[in-house]
Amino acid sequence: MPRGVVVIDRERCKGCGLCISACPQKVLAFSGERNRGGYDVACVVRPEACVGCGFCAMTCPDVAIEVYRERPEAGGDGSG
Amino acid sequence: MSASVEGLVKVFERPKSLTDAKFTYCPGCHHGIITRIIAQTIDELGIAERTVGIAPVGCSVFAYLWYRCDALQVAHGRASAVATGVKRANPELVVFSYQGDGDFASIGTAESIHAANRGENITVIFVNNQVYGMTGGEMAPTSLVGQVTTTTPEGRNPAGFGYPIRFSEIIAQLDAPVYVTRQAVYDTRRIMDTEKAVKKAFRLQVEGRGYSLVEILATCPTNWHMAPGAANRHVADVVTEVFPLGDLVDRG
Amino acid sequence: MSDRKLGGMAVAERQLLRGNEVIAEAAIRAGCECYFAYPITPQAELLEHMAANMERLGRTFVQAESEVAAISMVYGAAAVGVRVMTSSSSPGISLKQEGISYLAGSNLPAVIVNVVRGGPGLGNIAPSQCDYFQATKGGGHGDYHMIVLAPSTVPEAGELTMLAFDLADRYLTPVMILADGMLGQMMEPVELPEAVDTSSLPPKEWATTGAKGRDPNIVLSFDLDPQVLKAMNLVLQEKYRRIEAAEVRYETMEIDDAEIVIAAYGTIARIAKTVVKQARAEGLKVGLFRPITVWPFPYEPLRAIATRAESVLTVEMSAGQMLEDVRLAVAERADTPFYGELGGVVPTPRAILSEVRKHVG
């Protein structure tokens, strides 16, 4: 499986939790930390499990998440 | 940011057609997902420089703040008629109206039907969350039987207040529309389907094919008094029973 | 006889034409690109002339589903920067009030024609002047005004329609042609004006034409922050002061030594001209003051005239609407009697002259 990285914009996050539910790999959770808006922001708790599927970013209603994925090996299809 | 992204490919970022403004929507509100999908569509079709968005009255009154496009904020219910005026004045523009269930299906009933019936070459995005959000949670024409709202505190009683109105079905009966579909964004699969539907609707306008309507079932966690995840499940399990998903008209 | 295939010709020509048709044809010659309207008596001929000619000229005609939809279509086309018009009559103009407020609040140019009929409610289809308050005091919500032009003859209806488009563009504001059912229906010989070359008009940099090579243009009349909305309102107020300073129009007849001044506008002013002639023939010193802009109302000129006169007799087809502006202008300088007719009844010259005689000496 390719390795993925998600980057969450803390100040855009409204702590709705949809990304946490959308993630098939349980990568995300509430951090317990509040941003300036008073929201409990989501954060990465299992980075090693992230495959860069992008489901979290697609569902984020505040478009607060960027997703990166490992470039597939030359000749491979990247599905690991 | 704790991990390095060096050497990685960015596979998802904020669409270029979105401004940097923070959405004013409630946590978990589907307006944000739908807005992102529209902006992404504008990027993919390369039409930002000729797109004009029509913002309604309701929670999405601020829609003109979200896109790097020309936009109008218009009177409640009238977005489909204003879109008609914009498109007729300059058919080169790509015109979309973005309306909630009060704007599109209550006060705007006549304008919504007649823009469709004339086959105006516009794209209408109809966000149906079965409640009036901005004004504090009143009944919408699409509210479910038994749904508790501020104007139906005992639950919507059809004897006095009628039944939820399936507006896409009404529009689908007209001869002119080329694409009428009902979608949702409560999970990743539905989000992907909605992305395809919205892109198809805009593409049909760009090709000059005629009128498209994309109804999107959405949540209102605040006025449904549900957490965002539970609200999503409510759409999946309950709302889709009343408002079936799928294409009603596809002449594309 | 009315040849409907007139639109778009560049040469001035003399024709026997109905008021409604002249307004429509003048709009076409002013470069009206889009026309949206709903049928209502007594302005049907205006709608029909546009239907017969706009598409033929490559422009836009839409019969909207209601007057509400029509004014909303006007809003859209105005935002794109094209010249646009709608027309209706009293109850339909009531339906347009929210849209007019939006046009004014959003600084959009547009022309709205009201061929006034008897009211209130369904009323009737006879001529009236009972919409003066609605037109000039703001029938819609908020602190705004429209420029309101009141033609008195069929040729003037055409001239003022062309002027309306210019004023709308110049001040970015809706402009109303306040006509009435008699003016709309009567026929007079008219020399049609030359068509405007719209390509020579200045571009509208604010219009929503697509954000190519510039920041997006947003057309709106809204801000949650009261200080910002106050600033937006001050823009409107400053605009209205400029209009008041520059665009007042009125006409006088036999005014210099007049002891009794008839104040009237529109069709009634035309009838009053006959009354002035008849009165003068009897040796009565009667004159006429005719506002052409009922907003901005010619307060100062009327004030000056009132200092020399004994009475200013307002004659209207209403219960006394322009009367209030006359009394504001005249105050204590002269008497301000009133003669009105209601329900679409049109006063005769004899009836008005009889009223004038009551105030002689």
- Cβ-defined contact of C72 to B75 (cutoff 8 Å): yes
pLDDT of residue B1: 44
Name the pLDDT band for C12 (thresholds 50, 70, 90).
low
Cα–Cα dist C211/B72, whole Å: 13
What does DSSP say about strands A65-70 and A4-8: parallel, antiparallel, or unpaired? antiparallel
pLDDT of residue A73: 61
Identify the CATH assignment for A4-69 out of 3.40.50.720, 3.30.70.20, 3.90.1150.10, 4.10.140.10.
3.30.70.20
- Cβ-defined contact of B85 to C74 (cutoff 8 Å): yes
Cα–Cα dist B91/C60, whole Å: 11
* pLDDT above 90 coverage of chain C, percent: 94
Residue to substitute from B4, B6, B9, B66, interface A, most A β-carbons within 10 A: B9
User: Between vectors from CA B93 to CA B88 and to CA B98, what angle results, nearest 5°?
Assistant: 90
pLDDT of residue B3: 64
Cα–Cα dist B132/B170, whole Å: 21
Chain B positions touching C78 (Cβ under 8 A) are 85
Please check whether residue B7 touches A, CB under 8 A.
yes
List pLDDT tens digits, range C170-189: 999 999 999 999 999 999 99
B24-46 per-residue burial string, b: 16 or more CB within 10 A, e: under 16: ebbbbbbbbbbbbbbbbbbeebe
- Cβ-defined contact of A61 to B25 (cutoff 8 Å): yes
- What topology is assigned to C251-358 in CATH? Rossmann fold (3.40.50)
Q: Which of C123 and C5 is assigned the larger pLDDT?
A: C123
Helix (H) or strand (E) holding C142: none
Rounded to an integer, the average pLDDT of C30-46 is: 96
- Cβ-defined contact of A5 to B28 (cutoff 8 Å): no
| 3-class state of residue C3 by DSSP | coil
pLDDT of residue C87: 98
Name the pLDDT band for A67 (thresholds 50, 70, 90).
very high
The per-residue pLDDT string of chain B (252 residues; one tens digit each, 9 = 90 and over) reads: 446 788 899 999 999 999 999 999 999 999 999 999 999 999 999 999 999 999 999 999 999 999 999 999 999 999 999 999 999 999 999 999 999 999 999 999 999 999 999 999 999 999 999 999 999 999 999 999 999 999 999 999 999 999 999 999 999 999 999 999 999 999 999 999 999 999 999 999 999 999 999 999 999 999 999 999 999 999 999 999 999 999 999 998
Please check whether residue C238 touches B, CB under 8 A.
no
pLDDT of residue C11: 44
Helix (H) or strand (E) holding C54: none
Report how far Cα B140 is from the mean position of its chain's Cα atoms.
15
- What topology is assigned to C14-200 in CATH? Rossmann fold (3.40.50)
pLDDT of residue B182: 98
pLDDT of residue B6: 85
* B244 Cβ contact partners less than 8 Å away, ≥ 6 residues apart: B182
Residue type, B12: F
Helix (H) or strand (E) holding B48: none
- What topology is assigned to B31-245 in CATH? Rossmann fold (3.40.50)
pLDDT at residue C15 above 90?
no
Say whether pTM exceeds 0.90.
yes
Rounded to an integer, the average pLDDT of C310-331 is: 98
**Which ipTM score applies to this complex?**
0.95
User: Domain boundaries in chain B?
Assistant: 31-245
Of the partner residues A7, A12, A65, the one whose CB lies closest to the CB of residue B22: A12
Helix boundaries (H) for B11-146: 31-45, 79-89, 101-105, 109-117
Cis peptide before C120 (omega within 30 of 0): yes
Domain with CATH 3.40.50.920 in chain C: 251-358
Domain with CATH 3.40.50.970 in chain C: 14-200
| DSSP class per residue in C149-203 | E---SHHHHHHHHHHHHHHHHHHTSEEEEEEEHHHHH-EEEEEPPPPP-GGGSPP
From the list C322, C173, C337, C166, the residue with the least C-alpha distance to C260 is C337
Block residue for tokens 């929201």: A39
For residue B239, the 8-state DSSP code is I
The per-residue pLDDT of chain C, averaged, comes to: 95
Cα Dmax for chain A: 47
User: Domain boundaries in chain A?
Assistant: 4-69
To the nearest whole angstrom, how far is the Cα of B239 from the nearest Cα of chain A?
A: 19
Query: Distance from first CA to last CA of chain A, Å, rounded?
Result: 4
List pLDDT tens digits, range C203-242: 999 999 999 999 999 999 999 999 999 999 999 999 999 9
pLDDT at residue C59 above 60?
yes
